Amino acid sequence: MSKKKALSIITLFVLIIGLVLSGCSSSNESNGGKKSGDGKIHLKFMHDWPQGSSSAYFNLVKEIIKDYEAENKDVVIDVEVLNPDQYRDKIKVLAASNELPDVGLTWSNGFAEPYAKGGQFAPLDDIIKKDFQDQFVPGTVESYSFDGKSYALPMEMNITYVFYNKEIFKKYNLEEPKTFADLKKIGETLSKNGIIPATVGSKDGWPASMWFMYLADRIGGPTILTDVIQGKVKMTDPDIVKAAEEIQNLVDSGFFVKGNTAFSNDDAKGYFLNEQAAMFLTATWELPNFTTSPDTSQEFKDKVGYFKFPIVEGGKGTDSNSYVGGPGLGAFVAEKSQHKDQAKDFAAYLVKEWGKRSVESAGILPATKVNTEGLDVHPMYIDVLNDINNATNVTTWFDTQATPNVSELHHDLITALYGKQVTPEEFAKQHDNALAEEAAEK
C-alpha cells in the first residue's frame, strides 16, 4: 500500500469522526423536536408513569395524546416513559446537554428552580392567562413560579393522610385517633398484639419525612417549615427539635416497621398492602390503589380507610384541616424546543383534558378545580375532594420547597433520624448549617 493511499484513508477516518462528532452536536441543538420524513411535526414528550406501576396515569395520558393527534393531524407525539427515579436522573442529564424533550413533566419548587432560572423551561404565563383563568387550585401555579414567571402547568394536587386497615383497627377495638396520644396508644396496642403499627420507607427519606412534617406542623404551627425555608425561623427551633424527638420516640416504641431505613417507599407500601402493617402515611396519589385500581383486590380495598393527622396536645397547630401536601407534577415546555408554540398548545391541551378526565377515568386528583357535584366516583374521592375544598392550609412538602442541595441533605438526615444515627439536635443543626451556607451564597 502506498503512503499516499494510507494517508488518504487516515484523512477519511478523521473526516468520519468529525462527522460523527458534528452529528452529536447538531442533535444537541434540535432538542429532540424534529420534522422527519413524513412532514409531520414530531413533539417529544417524556413522562414518568410507566404502564406497569402507574397504569391509570399511563392509560389516561395515552388516551389524551391519541385525541390530540386526532385533532391535530400534522402533529405526532413521541412518548418516552421512564420510572420516576430514572426520570429524575434523565431530566438532569438531558438538561445538562440541552436535550430536554419539547414537553415534559417537572416537580415543583426546588426541582424546577434551576431549570426555570437556567433558561431551560419556557415561561407559560401567556397560556395560563389565556386558557386557565381561575382554573387551578390556589397555590399550585405558584409552586412553579420563579421571579414572577410561571414555568409549568400543574397537573397534580396531593395531600397526605394516614391510611389504615379498618379490619385490623376493628379487631383490636381501635378508633381513628383525634390526638397524637391516641395515635401512640394505638401503636402500643397493635405492637403488643404483634401487628406492625405503621410502615414507612425511610431509606428514600421523603416518605418518612411526611411524619416529621406533620409533627412540625402540629407542634410548631402550620407555617413553621415554610418559615424555615424563607429564613424566618431556624430549624433548631425547639418546636422542630421536639418534632424530631417525637419521631425517635415512635421509633423506640416500635411504632414503625423494623428495618425501615432499608425500605424504599414501595417496599414499605408492600407491608400495608399485604396487611402486615396497620397504617401507612402517604399521599392521595395512592388513592387509585385503595379504591379503583384492578391491581389490588377488592377485599383489601374495602378495608382501607383514612384519617387526618391528629392534633398534638399543647401544640401550636390546632387545626387538623391543615395538610402536608403539594402539587406533584406539572407540564413544562422546553425553552429550546423547535416547535415551542405547538408544544405549548399540546401542554395546554394535555393539562386541560387531564383536569376534566382524571378523577373519573383514572382516580387522580388534578390541580385544576373539580366540582364534586354529580361526580361518579368512589366515595373516598368525594371525601378527599371536599377535604381539599375545606383545607385551611396545605404546606408544600419541605423537601419540595427546599433547594436540591438541602432537600438531599434532608432525606439523608431523615434516614439517619429514623435509624437513630443522629440526635434531634444534630438533625436540626445540620439543616441550619446547610441553609445558612446557602443564604450566605445568595
Partner 1 sequence: MKNVMSNKTVIALYVLPALFLVLFLIYIPMILTGYYGLMKWDGVGEMKFIGLDNYIKLVQDKLFWESTWHSILLGLFSVLSLIGYLIVSLVLASKIKGANIFRKIYIIPMLLSSVAIAQLWIKIFDPMNGLINSFLTSIGVENVPLWLADPEIALYAIFIPIVWQYAGFYIIIIYAALVNVPEELIEAARIDGANAFQIAYKIKVPLISGVLKVLVILAIVGSLKYFDLIYVMTGGGPGHATEVMASYMYKEAFGKYNFGYGSAIGFGLLVISMVATWTIQKLMKTKEDN
* Secondary structure of residue 334 in the 3-state scheme: strand
**Sign of CA pseudo-dihedral 280, 376, 391, 131:** positive
Segment lying near partner 1 (by CB under 8 A), choices 116-124, 152-160, 187-195, 392-400: 116-124
Amino acid at residue number 392 = T
Smaller CB distance to partner 1: residue 1 or 439? 1
Query: Which is nearer to partner 1, 202 or 358 (by Cβ)?
Result: 202
Residue 255 or 381: the one with the smaller Cβ distance to partner 1 is: 255
Describe the chain by its helix, strand, coil percentages, rounded to 5.
50, 15, 30
Q: Taking CB under 8 A as the rule, does residue 412 contact partner 1?
A: yes
Residue number, 97 or 297, with CB nearest to partner 1: 97
Q: Does 114 bind partner 1 (CB under 8 A)?
A: yes
C-alpha–C-alpha distance, residues 393 and 430, integer Å? 28
Taking CB under 8 A as the criterion, the residue among 260, 282, 292, 342 binding partner 1 is 260
Q: Does 117 bind partner 1 (CB under 8 A)?
A: yes
Q: Supply the minimum distance, in Å, between the C-beta of residue 348 and partner 1.
A: 25
Nearer to partner 1, 274 or 298 (CB): 274
Report 200-259 residues binding partner 1 (CB under 8 A): 202-204, 257-259
Phi, psi angles (nearest 5°) of residue 245 = -60, -45
Instruction: Return the range that interacts with partner 1 (CB under 8 A); candidates 64-72, 113-121, 151-159, 237-245.
Output: 113-121
What is the grid cell recorded at 89? 436522573
* φ/ψ bin of 275: left (φ > 0), alpha (ψ from -120 to 50), beta (otherwise): left
**Backbone torsions φ then ψ of 160, nearest 5 degrees:** -110, 145
- For the chain, the first-to-last Cα distance in angstroms comes to 65
Of these, 408, 429, 430, 432, which contacts partner 1 (CB under 8 A)? 408
3-state secondary structure 259-279: CHHHCCHHHHHHHHHCCCEEE
- Based on the shown chain and the rule CB under 8 A, indicate whether residue 423 belongs to the binding site for partner 1: no
The binder of partner 1 chosen from 3, 39, 138, 390 (CB under 8 A):
3
**Selected binder of partner 1 within 76, 79, 95, 382 (CB under 8 A):** 95
User: Cell triple for residue 116?
Assistant: 426555570
Q: Which amino acid is at 367?
A: A
Q: Please give the single-letter amino acid code of residue 61.
A: V
Number of residues that bind partner 1 (CB under 8 A): 47
DSSP SS3 for 46: strand
From the list 404, 425, 433, 436, which residue makes contact with partner 1 (rule: CB under 8 A)? Answer: 404
Query: How far apart are CB 407 and partner 1 at their closest, in Å?
Result: 8
Which is nearer to partner 1, 255 or 309 (by Cβ)? 255
For 300, the grid coordinates are 383489601
Geometric angle at alpha carbon 147, from 142 and 150, rounded to 5°:
45
**Least distance in Å: CB of 118 to partner 1?**
4
CB of 166 to partner 1, least distance (A): 22
Q: Which residues contact 405 (CB under 8 A, 6 or more apart)?
A: 434, 438
* Phi and psi, residue 103, nearest 5°: -130, 140
Q: Does 442 bind partner 1 (CB under 8 A)?
A: no
State in angstroms the smallest separation of the CB of 337 from partner 1: 16
Q: How many CA atoms lie within 13 A of 122 on its CB side?
A: 25
Q: Which 261-290 residues touch partner 1, going by CB under 8 A?
A: 261-263, 267, 271, 276
Q: Which residues are within 8 A (CB) of 120 and not within 5 positions of it... i.e. 6 or more apart?
A: 95, 98, 100, 334, 335, 336
Beta-ladder partners of 355 = none
Per CB under 8 A, does 313 bind partner 1? no
From 3-11, 56-64, 147-155, 350-358, span contacting partner 1 (CB under 8 A): 3-11
Report, in Å, the least distance between residue 389 CB and partner 1. 36
Q: Which stretch binds partner 1 (CB under 8 A): 2-10, 45-53, 169-177, 242-250?
A: 2-10
Element (DSSP H or E) covering residue 407: helix 404-418
Selected from 29, 74, 89, 188, the binder of partner 1 by CB under 8 A is: 89
Binding residues (CB under 8 A) for partner 1: these are: 1, 3, 6-7, 9-10, 13-14, 17, 21, 89, 92-93, 95-96, 114-115, 117-120, 196, 202-204, 257-263, 267, 271, 276, 404-405, 408-409, 412-413, 415-416, 418-419, 421-422
